[in-house]
Structure 1
Amino acid sequence: MRARVLPFLLTGALALGGCGKKADDPQATAALTLSPQQKVARQVERLATSAAVNNPIASPAPTLVTGTLTAGVTVAYAAASAGSLVSSAPFAYWGGTPLIYAGTYVRFPAATISSTDGNTGGGTQGTIWRVAMRTDSPLVSIGVLGGYKYRILVDDTYVSKTTTGVLGVGGLQYLNLDFTNAGGAKPRTIQVEGAQAGGFSGVSVAPSYNVWAPPATPKIVFVGDSFCTGTGATFDGNGLVRVAGDYLGVGNIVASGVGGTGYVTAPVNIYNFAQRLSDWTTKSPDIVMFAGGFNDADDTALQPAVLSLLKSTRAALPDAILLVYGVWSGSTGPNAAVLSKENKISAAVTAFNDTNTRFIAMATATDGAWVTGTGYTGAPNGTGNSNLVTSTDRVHPTDYGHSYLGFRIAKAALDALGTF
């Protein structure tokens, strides 16, 4: 099963320029002098196009068994040793900043929620993460921290959308892949997907086979609230940020969200967006996406708070593309408060007047609000798509809602990137 396959109608967005031009053609010369923002935009567009095409070579799926190390898998590559990351480890870490746990595991905090709290300790919180590697081995054993849910992708295709891992049992577990009857030995890209405080320890393969790191991808940090963390989804990997990353073909997308927060608002002893600025300004992202306002009051503090955050972000990240989304709608639909807050955020982006920043409307989109109506799952009333998109808590998306919103986020991002 492909991770998330839906062909984009990229009308106009993929006019890359310079293709088929002679070396002395002025247009060809211009194509070689793209700005940093244009280079990132073109790269993401190409990745999104690739992600929309099914790869039949990935079928049939390998067998996947959770348990002890597979017999005969003797060549080990550790992620951490003696409390430190192994610098030569052939892995790409996506979705957070690697943090050593219990000496040999790597966790991936994505947001700083306070000075002391967090599921990964020290005030940090993990959301959804992936570790990617390439190998030609027909047998692959991936070491993970027991007690958490995981999924495996092979060549960008889920082996199964159902999570694996033995819940309630800690310590080292192995996710064992056997490709003997699924193409045998050949190069593949393998990703292990985990969430929250789950951890990765390394990989073991059969003798004479190799493991190497995949190429770097653009890095996106998505700054948000509980919508961003995947609340409402049956697994964090079904959350809208990870879905958007899959549609964009970007593995390294960070769901830097904290529930109950906004540009101004935060629960007691929890940081708002501005207070956790370093969660993205110190991580060298190519693109920063913001989606807040749902938890903020509709008052005079919102617009200047958004403007201040954008200015602080730009001062630290002079070359990053900033995409500022509007306001989520729960079962209220785009009511007066949602519309007013989205207009304030839009006004802040306009006042920012930054060449490499774009505002993306959701409630006030010219082609209609992304979520409409006042129904929700279990209590549909025929007034709009919130009947399907919004869960029984009347706020957060369902699995379908996360998938739908992730698609809209990605498509809107591609449209915005097409303007660079």
Structure 2
Amino acid sequence: MLSVTLPAASRRAVGNLHRLARLRRAAAKAALSNPRTAGAYAPAPAITDNGPANPHAANGYLCNSAALGIWHVVGGVHGFNAGASALRAAWVDGGRTYASEINTYARWEAVADSRYFTARLFPSVVPYRFIVDGRHVSPAGTTLGVTTGSTSQYVTLDFGARAIRHVMIEASQASGFIGGYVENGAFMWPVDTSEIVHAVFLGDSYVQGAGPAQRGDGVSAQMADRMGLALHASGSGGTGWNHANQSAHRFDQRIAAGDLAMSYYPPEVIFLTASVNDRNRDAAVAQANALAGLIEARRQFPEVPIVVFGCVPIPAGPLTGTPSITSAEQAVQAAVTAFADPLCRFVPIVSDPRGAWASGAGAQLLFTAPLSGAAGGTLASAWSRTTSSSLYTIVFSDGSTRLGSFTSGSTAVTWTGAVTAAAEATVHQSEGNARYLFAADWTHPTEYGAAYIGERYARAASAALEDMLR
């Protein structure tokens, strides 16, 4: 009998398969249930804002600059000033000087065996959200009664009965978490992190979560939950590989400054993106900077897969020509091609062979109040379009259409013919899905748009990771 001795698999090949297996398990778990699809937690606990009074002060589990304690922390970085918190969009100074630096959104997770759970929080105008056993208690979140100052505020969840639950606190922007408390005789302990896959996504305002009311509902968060990833989303609005505002760090500068490694956990996947903020800039410079950024990312993380997304074709345009959204995407795609790294893949969006992810021109339109027999209305925010045209078709919630007259910088809109409809409408300039995906600025996603783009990101990223790791 003849025998054949096959060459042993390389260490990298074995490592790739191991990473792929972890990603598959995380994705399979997320497909069964994740905060985007699982629905609200039921029965909903009673939530009490106790102000500065802590009803369970004797049994606390703190999380601070000295130690994370039992908490699995993603997205937030604890610093050395225990009395303040802040959002820093670009992580540019390298110094961790705030108690809870939240770049985009942050989550703290632990297991509680209790009836009550009390969170010690920083005053903030931004709502806090609680996720219990993978389900949001309330998608709108809880806004504190005290939103300014530096005195800790305590919010208690009363579940009505004692049980073991996974409890997660989500915060964004100028917010912070100091610790959790349970009643006497109750306990908390760490979650099992052995199967949690950590990732980092460095990018612009889309990664930062701009558009939806909650940063935790932004594009990057949507993608991560659908893939089952614990994500450190490092987003900086208005930036790119060659953006106009040179006082803000470019992507490649942030990579060189160590932004990919700001999380408490080393990334197992790195996500990068082309940016529409480069659409009016020199594409050759963007390409060179993107290549430099990729080389530096690989130097820092020699065996971590990198997924690079193209540009979302926003209706603000320009979509074609040079420079344009298309040329900005092509510049970064060319950088990935020149990089020629077996553990890096580019995901086209404008030039997706199956069709661009967004098409047409239009956006969401919000009035300050529902319309009743109206021949005009007041916009919730001033009309931001600066094109030569001032007439756009409005599609109202009842399905009727009118040709609306808009003025750049004004909230006043008029049309001919009375309309009775809800406060939410869309502007329809040309056919496509853009009017559902984008907010009134014609650039950032709506709530639905962020979910749609996040889902497309997740599916495309999963396919890219399969391709490079198996």
Normalised by the length of structure 1, the TM-score is 0.83
Is the 8 Å Cα contact of residues 304 and 348 (structure 1) preserved in structure 2? Answer: yes
Amino acid at match of 2:107: R
Question: Are 2:351 and 1:364 equivalent residues in the alignment?
Answer: yes
Is the 8 Å Cα contact of residues 98 and 106 (structure 1) preserved in structure 2? Answer: no
- Structure 2: gaps spanning 5 or more residues: 366-426
Are residues 330 and 114 of structure 1, via their aligned partners in 2, closer, same or farther at CA, if it must alter by over 3 Å? farther
1:303 aligned residue (287, 297, 304): 287
Question: Are 2:209 and 1:230 equivalent residues in the alignment?
Answer: yes
Is the 8 Å Cα contact of residues 270 and 306 (structure 2) preserved in structure 1? Answer: yes
Hey, what's the Cα distance between the residues in 2 that align with 1:316 and 1:115? 16
Q: Secondary structure at the match of 1:146?
A: coil
Cα offsets for 1:21-52 (capped at 9, x unmatched): xxxxx99x979996333323322222222122
Aligned CA RMSD, in angstroms, stands at: 2.9
Are residues 213 and 164 of structure 1, via their aligned partners in 2, closer, same or farther at CA, if it must alter by over 3 Å? same
Aligned pairs, how many?
A: 382
* Residue aligning to 2:405: none
Cα offsets for 1:168-200 (capped at 9, x unmatched): 3432112211111xxx32221111000012011
Amino acid at match of 2:341: D
2:114 aligned residue (137, 149, 160): 137
Deviation at 1:203, TM superposition (A): 0.6
Structure of higher CA gyration radius:
2
Are residues 393 and 57 of structure 1, via their aligned partners in 2, closer, same or farther at CA, if it must alter by over 3 Å? closer
Deviation at 1:85, TM superposition (A): 2.1
Hey, what's the Cα distance between the residues in 2 that align with 1:152 and 1:192? 5
Amino acid at match of 1:274: D
* Residue aligning to 2:429: 381
Give runs of aligned pairs for residues 174-323 of structure 1, distance below 5 A.
174-180=154-160, 184-216=161-193, 217-250=196-229, 252-277=230-255, 278-281=258-261, 283=263, 284-296=266-278, 297-323=281-307
Give runs of aligned pairs for residues 330-341 of structure 1, distance below 5 A.
330-332=314-316, 334-336=319-321, 337-341=324-328
* Residue aligning to 2:313: 329
Question: Are 2:335 and 1:354 equivalent residues in the alignment?
Answer: no
* Residue aligning to 2:456: 408
Hey, what's the Cα distance between the residues in 2 that align with 1:327 and 1:114? 28
Deviates more, 1:237-246 or 1:53-62: 53-62
Amino acid at match of 2:283: D
Deviates more, 1:49-58 or 1:400-409: 49-58
Q: Secondary structure at the match of 1:186?
A: strand
Question: Are 2:76 and 1:96 equivalent residues in the alignment?
Answer: yes
Q: Secondary structure at the match of 2:20?
A: helix
Is the 8 Å Cα contact of residues 266 and 272 (structure 1) preserved in structure 2? Answer: no
Is the 8 Å Cα contact of residues 374 and 383 (structure 1) preserved in structure 2? Answer: yes
Q: Secondary structure at the match of 2:221?
A: helix
Is the 8 Å Cα contact of residues 108 and 129 (structure 1) preserved in structure 2? Answer: no
* Residue aligning to 1:66: 49
* Residue aligning to 2:23: 44
Deviation at 1:73, TM superposition (A): 6.3
Deviation at 1:285, TM superposition (A): 1.3
Q: Secondary structure at the match of 2:32?
A: coil
Deviates more, 1:65-74 or 1:90-99: 65-74
Deviation at 1:90, TM superposition (A): 0.5
Q: Secondary structure at the match of 2:283?
A: coil
Deviation at 1:75, TM superposition (A): 0.8
Cα offsets for 1:40-65 (capped at 9, x unmatched): 33222222221222479953222222
Amino acid at match of 1:357: C
Cα offsets for 1:276-323 (capped at 9, x unmatched): 111014652111111133111143212121111101110111011100
Are residues 108 and 261 of structure 1, via their aligned partners in 2, closer, same or farther at CA, if it must alter by over 3 Å? closer
Is the 8 Å Cα contact of residues 107 and 200 (structure 1) preserved in structure 2? Answer: no
Is the 8 Å Cα contact of residues 98 and 107 (structure 1) preserved in structure 2? Answer: no
Deviates more, 1:306-315 or 1:107-116: 107-116
Q: Secondary structure at the match of 1:179?
A: strand
Deviates more, 1:164-173 or 1:228-237: 164-173
Is the 8 Å Cα contact of residues 286 and 321 (structure 1) preserved in structure 2? Answer: yes
Hey, what's the Cα distance between the residues in 1 that align with 2:129 and 2:329? 36
Are residues 100 and 35 of structure 1, via their aligned partners in 2, closer, same or farther at CA, if it must alter by over 3 Å? farther
Are residues 371 and 406 of structure 1, via their aligned partners in 2, closer, same or farther at CA, if it must alter by over 3 Å? same
Hey, what's the Cα distance between the residues in 2 that align with 1:50 and 1:59? 20
Is the 8 Å Cα contact of residues 85 and 176 (structure 2) preserved in structure 1? Answer: yes
- Structure 1: gaps spanning 5 or more residues: 1-25
* Residue aligning to 1:23: none
Amino acid at match of 2:222: V
Deviation at 1:268, TM superposition (A): 4.2
Is the 8 Å Cα contact of residues 113 and 125 (structure 1) preserved in structure 2? Answer: no
Are residues 259 and 236 of structure 1, via their aligned partners in 2, closer, same or farther at CA, if it must alter by over 3 Å? same
Amino acid at match of 1:291: T
**Which structure shows the bigger proportion of residues in strand conformation?**
2
Are residues 56 and 338 of structure 1, via their aligned partners in 2, closer, same or farther at CA, if it must alter by over 3 Å? closer
Q: Secondary structure at the match of 2:459?
A: helix
